[in-house]
Amino acid sequence: MANSPSGDSVLDRLVRILDAFDAGTPSLTVSALARRADVPRASAYRLVEELLRHGLLAREGGEVRLGLRLWELANRASSTLDLRRVAMPFMEDVNQVVRQNTQLAVLHDDEVLVLERLSRPGSVANQAYVAGRMPVHLTSMGLALLAFSPAPALEGYLERHGERMRSAHPDLRRELAHIRRTGYASLEGFIDTDTTGVSVPVLDRRGHALAVLAVVVPRGSNLLRPAVMALRTAARGISRGLGEIPPD
């Protein structure tokens, strides 16, 4: 609908415009936005005007940024809202007990999407940001989500990303079986090598991961085993809060 001569629709352009902003680039001039979003300048100016009028973008100095109205529309009926609401008190418990950054994530479009993160002063470094994406094959979150995916989803993922996966995990099948058996995944930090991520799935009644709960601990720390216990306890509480009783 409403296609431009180049064949992309208003919606295609809108998505590219919203996608041009991220945590490192929260605001842009309209020209820079047009370049980043690959939208002709004149169209970008018209579209930005309309987005400003609807509050989906907001002016900030000579630049524009995402508007609060967009945040409101996207958040108030989000499918993540229930999960986040149920998970938050349990995440706070883990955060209090383990005293390290605690995060909640899901598998989305073959990547790990971070839904929530509670940080602590003095926690070790951590590259996860709310609404940020992380690679499946380089995070304990990704491995735990994959290990507890339904078989067709796992096979589909491996078909699309098998090579990358196997280069990081030559013995992947055995590794995933181990994660399923022990109920958690741990992996040394891939950006900050001084840290280890520990992840436990939040299971549904069929034993598949709805989400993953993770903490990042200092590498070689004796916190790892206690953190697993805290995460497993909290993850079961979240499952129960969602009305799912995970199998033993």
79 touches a copy of itself (CB under 8 A): yes
Return the number of other C-beta atoms located less than 10 Å from residue 188's C-beta: 14
List 40, 41, 59, 89, residue binding a copy of itself (CB under 8 A):
89
Per-residue binding letters, 129-168, with a copy of itself (x by CB under 8 A) = xxxxx-----------------------------------
Nearer to a copy of itself, 85 or 173 (CB): 85
List 6, 31, 41, 54, residue binding a copy of itself (CB under 8 A):
54
Q: Which of residues 8-47 bind a copy of itself (CB under 8 A)?
A: 9-12, 14-15, 18-19, 21-23, 25-26, 43, 46-47
Nearer to a copy of itself, 109 or 248 (CB): 109
List 8, 32, 38, 88, residue binding a copy of itself (CB under 8 A):
88
Return the number of other C-beta atoms located less than 10 Å from residue 114's C-beta: 21
Per-residue binding letters, 97-116, with a copy of itself (x by CB under 8 A) = ---------x-xx---x---
85 touches a copy of itself (CB under 8 A): yes
CB of 18 to a copy of itself, least distance (A): 4
Q: Nearest to residue 98, comparing CAs of 219, 184, 222?
A: 222
Nearer to a copy of itself, 46 or 164 (CB): 46
**Residues near a copy of itself (CB under 8 A):** 1-2, 9-12, 14-15, 18-19, 21-23, 25-26, 43, 46-47, 50-51, 54-56, 58, 60, 65-81, 84-85, 88-89, 92, 95-96, 106, 108-109, 113, 118-121, 129-133
